[in-house]
Amino acid sequence: VAASPRPHVVLVASPGAGHLIPMAELARRLVTHHGLAATLVTFTDQSAPNANSTVLSSPSVSQVSTVALPAVPLDDLPADDPIETMLWELIGRSIPHLRALLRDISSAAPLAALVPDFFGSTVLPLAAELGVPAYIFFPSNLTGVAVMRSAVELNDGVASGEYRDLPDVLRLPGSVLLHRKDYADGFQNSKEPTYARLIEAGRRYRAADGFLVNTFDEMEPGNPEEIKQAVEQSTFPPVYPVEPLIRPSSDEDGASACLDWLDRQPKGSVVYVSFGSAGALSVERTAELAAGLEDSGHRFLWVVRLPSQDGINFAMFTGHRSDKDDPLAWLPEGFVERTSGRGLAVAAWAPQVRVLSHPATAAFVSHCGWNSTLESVASGVPMVAWPLYAEQRMNVALLSENVGVAQRPRATRADGLIAREAIAAAVREVMGGEEKGRAVRLRAGELQQVAARACTPGGSSWQMLEEVAGKCKAVALGRLKHRRL
Ligand code: UDP
């Protein structure tokens, strides 16, 4: 008798390395640890057809089926639309392709669940059509879910066009206060179209069976149990912290000039500087950062991007890597020569998990995107926080004021620009300071241990996924039996 096919989970990853990388790891864990089969669905961008190839061809993803949905036209969208609009439109317009794919998969194996990420709320009705559970993958933290829930409930019964702003200070469960300046970009102003889209997405989340959140309790402020309970007692589905979904370092190319250079540096001597998959600095900020690194006197490895005014390089985000423009040409004159021997600047990209886990790396100047944060914590590396866009300011508020694993440089200038002196001071503090610096270094070491425990069999994250996988399998097998009767 042929063995029945495993119950099958379909995960839908919106564009962006920060979404795809943790979802690929989630898919891998569901297959290797929890007895499910998985298909990871991505989208096709005709102008960057290889955008996802490095992640999807990684050894750890080999047990997961991967499908890229056909491209859909987006050229009618205004060029100055925010990136979120592009993601929501892309997913919404791809639903007929996704429906056809789900029908194909379900004819060959019992469907166990549909798991879109937080940009994919419009695919949730497909789960209802097919009678399968749906979980939203939230690549950020519980606090992010709690803010979303507050905004949605604040606007219950309110029509689009009249949405209410979040208060200037939001009191979250567990007595955590979040200030307006720390809200994600999209929650800053209820008059902006992105705010309306977020509320609509949040309303649709209510149809899901739960949130899979890439976090663990010690990464949250206050009492995370209170956040979880508050979400459960609300109109939102329950949350399952399944952290830290980090790609194995063996997935990254080990042959790299960065790693060769790190091999030649003393243990615990290097500051790694990088701003995620798409973060970019203005020319002025690039110059201040360069000067700050130079003044700090420490060794550094800096992933340099072409300058951008608004903090995000759209082309990098969507996977367009061009070798035409050299970001290093934008560094201040003489900087590379003056710091040669103790600093390395590389263009565009580094194998980050390998860099962070290298014994020479001691600190991370980071935009505090959530994946970068978890990767840093998993390697026991404290951070200097430099938020740029999306929900990064919220992350920094948690990491510096609550979790205690990051140091904010002090913005001393009226225009908010962080001056070279503040950068140098923050780097020196995290590398060797006896007070705050010592505290963030110790905290990073503690969190590294907690993160490692959570993912081992029987650990909190492992158990959460086992619970969710069990529910999905029960539904799939129940349906299979019903079909056979
Ligand atoms: N990343 C990398 N090399 C780089 C820059 C980024 O491997 O030079 C990876 C990083 O390890 C992380 C992801 O890209 O897994 C970025 O995700 P994050 O949430 O930190 O930031 P986002 O790009 O979403 O702003």
Which positions ≥6 away from 485 have C-beta within 8 Å? none
Nearest to 374 by CA among 387, 360, 356, 390: 356
Q: How far is the CA of 404 from the centre of ligand 1 (A)?
A: 21
Residue 383 parent element (H or E) = strand 383-385
Q: Which residues pair with 364 in a beta bridge?
A: 272, 383
Nearest to 271 by CA among 232, 292, 299: 299
DSSP 330: G
Three-state DSSP at 44 gives coil
The atom number, within ligand 1, closest to the CA of 373 reads: 20
Residue pair 270/302 in contact (Cβ under 8 Å)? The answer is no
Distance CA 181, CA 184 (A): 9
Residue 424 parent element (H or E) = helix 420-432
370-378 helix and 436-455 helix, angle to the nearest 10 degrees: 90
If you count them, how many residues does the chain have?
Answer: 485
DSSP 117-160: BTT-GGGHHHHHHHT--BEEEESS-HHHHHHHHHHHHHTTTPPT
Pocket test for ligand 1, best of 140, 262, 371 (most atoms within 8 A of CB): 371
The two tokens of residue 5 are 């096919």
Nearest to 469 by CA among 103, 9, 108: 9
What pLDDT was estimated at residue 228? 80
Pocket test for ligand 1, best of 372, 374, 399 (most atoms within 8 A of CB): 372
The two tokens of residue 305 are 């991007």
For the annotated catalytic residues, the residue numbers are 19, 117
- Kindly report the protein residue whose alpha carbon is nearest to atom 13 of ligand 1: 18
Distance CA 426, CA 404 (A): 14
Q: How far is the CA of 16 from the centre of ligand 1 (A)?
A: 9
Q: In Å, how far are 123, 238, 388 from 207, measured between CA atoms? A: 11, 11, 32
Nearest to 224 by CA among 156, 144, 338: 144
Pocket test for ligand 1, best of 83, 253, 277 (most atoms within 8 A of CB): 277
Q: How far is the CA of 249 from the centre of ligand 1 (A)?
A: 13
- Kindly report the protein residue whose alpha carbon is nearest to atom 15 of ligand 1: 371
Nearest to 313 by CA among 391, 389, 395: 389
What pLDDT was estimated at residue 388? 93
Distance CA 209, CA 470 (A): 13
For β-strands 37-43 and 8-12, DSSP reports them as: parallel
DSSP 2-42: PPPPPPEEEEEPPSSHHHHHHHHHHHHHHHHHHS-EEEEEE
Residues with beta carbon inside 6 Å of ligand 1?
A: 16-18, 21, 274, 276-278, 303, 349-350, 352-353, 369-372, 375
- Kindly report the protein residue whose alpha carbon is nearest to atom 7 of ligand 1: 352
Backbone phi, then psi, for 363, in 5-degree steps? -155, 160
Residue pair 317/277 in contact (Cβ under 8 Å)? The answer is yes
The verdict on ipTM greater than 0.90 is yes
For β-strands 210-213 and 299-304, DSSP reports them as: unpaired
Residue pair 87/14 in contact (Cβ under 8 Å)? The answer is yes
Nearest to 138 by CA among 120, 114, 111, 123: 120
- Kindly report the protein residue whose alpha carbon is nearest to atom 14 of ligand 1: 277
Residue pair 20/42 in contact (Cβ under 8 Å)? The answer is yes
The one-letter amino acid at 216: F
Q: How far is the CA of 63 from the centre of ligand 1 (A)?
A: 23
Q: How far is the CA of 17 from the centre of ligand 1 (A)?
A: 6
Residue with tokens 């919220």: 394
The atom number, within ligand 1, closest to the CA of 390 reads: 25
The atom number, within ligand 1, closest to the CA of 303 reads: 8
Residue pair 313/278 in contact (Cβ under 8 Å)? The answer is yes
pLDDT of the chain along its 485 residues, tens only?
A: 567 789 999 999 999 999 999 999 999 999 999 999 999 999 997 777 777 888 999 999 999 999 999 999 999 999 888 889 999 999 999 999 999 999 999 999 999 999 999 999 999 999 999 999 999 999 999 999 999 999 999 999 999 889 999 999 999 887 789 999 999 999 999 999 999 999 999 999 999 999 999 998 899 888 888 888 887 788 899 999 987 799 999 999 888 999 999 999 999 999 999 999 989 999 999 999 999 999 999 999 999 999 987 678 777 777 766 666 799 999 999 999 999 999 999 998 999 999 999 999 999 999 999 999 999 999 999 999 999 999 999 999 999 999 999 999 987 777 778 999 999 999 999 999 999 999 999 999 999 999 998 888 888 888 999 999 999 999 888 877 777 76
Q: How far is the CA of 386 from the centre of ligand 1 (A)?
A: 14
